[in-house]
Amino acid sequence: MKPVILYCSQTGFTKQYAVWMAEELSCPAVPFEKRNTVDFSRYDTILFGSWCHGGRLKRMKWFRGMLPEWKGKRKLLFAVGASPAGNRGIEEFLKGLEAQEEGIRAFYLPGGLCYEQMGAVSRAMMKLFSFMIGRKREKTPEEENMARMIRRSYDISDRACTAPILEAVRKGETSRGGKKRREGAGG
């Protein structure tokens, strides 16, 4: 097992998870901005972490574009968002990510919100989102909770949440249910 972690982070939560996992796996954690410095042929396992943005994952297009080059390697995605783990919709979101390419495992990690580190556009979008969810008449309990939470910065990140990802990397899992694909490690 020779993993490398590549992460895209705006306000620091995804970076924190990448650093925690890099410590556990004794492997590099590289910010997206430095992706061109990575020689991916040296690694057999690639973890790509990014943050949720309007129900999508930032830089997912780039990740998908890299898949042909990474054929034969194990690929794991971790999505970091503002929702608590276990929220409805997350499972569907992960299945959607996994469906984009056979053999990819996707995980969700709860991050939080950090308005102090956000760019102006992100702050404005969150303000709009907050306004829209706030004025929605019939909110689900999750929406009610979200409307309350997003008024200010919060941190629900938890190192312990990385355990299933670390286990999947160590076991060489590339699909749900723990199946191991019998492919060359590619490099």
Ligand X SMILES: Cc1cc2nc3c(=O)[nH]c(=O)nc-3n(C[C@H](O)[C@H](O)[C@H](O)COP(=O)(O)O)c2cc1C
Closest contact distance (angstroms) between CB of 133 and ligand X is 12
CB atoms within 10 A of CB 52: 18
Separation between Cα atoms, residue 1 and residue 113, nearest integer Å = 33
Q: Which is nearer to ligand X, 46 or 80 (CB)?
A: 80
**80, 94, 97, 106: residue in contact with ligand X (rule CB under 6 A):** 80
**Amino acid sitting at position 141:** P
Q: What is the C-alpha end-to-end distance of the chain, expressed in Å? A: 11
Separation between Cα atoms, residue 80 and residue 15, nearest integer Å = 10
Instruction: State yes or no: residue 12 binds ligand X (CB under 6 A).
Output: yes
For residue 29, the Cα-to-chain-centroid distance in whole angstroms is: 14
Of 7-15, 68-76, 98-106, 166-174, the segment contacting ligand X by CB under 6 A is: 7-15
83-121 as b/e: b if 16+ CB within 10 A: beeebeebeebbeebbeeeebbbbbbbbbbbeeeebeee
**Residue 13 near residue 50, CB atoms below 8 Å:** no
Of 11-19, 33-41, 60-68, 178-186, the segment contacting ligand X by CB under 6 A is: 11-19
DSSP state of 69: T
- Tokens representing residue 64 in the block: 């998908």
Separation between Cα atoms, residue 95 and residue 80, nearest integer Å = 15
Instruction: State yes or no: residue 11 binds ligand X (CB under 6 A).
Output: yes
Q: Which is nearer to ligand X, 141 or 177 (CB)?
A: 141
Instruction: State yes or no: residue 141 binds ligand X (CB under 6 A).
Output: no
Of 10-18, 34-42, 61-69, 130-138, the segment contacting ligand X by CB under 6 A is: 10-18
Closest contact distance (angstroms) between CB of 15 and ligand X is 6
Of 3-11, 33-41, 168-176, 178-186, the segment contacting ligand X by CB under 6 A is: 3-11
Q: Which is nearer to ligand X, 67 or 126 (CB)?
A: 126
Instruction: State yes or no: residue 162 binds ligand X (CB under 6 A).
Output: no
Closest contact distance (angstroms) between CB of 146 and ligand X is 9
Sites of contact with ligand X (CB under 6 A): 9-15, 51-55, 80-83, 111-113, 118, 122, 125-126
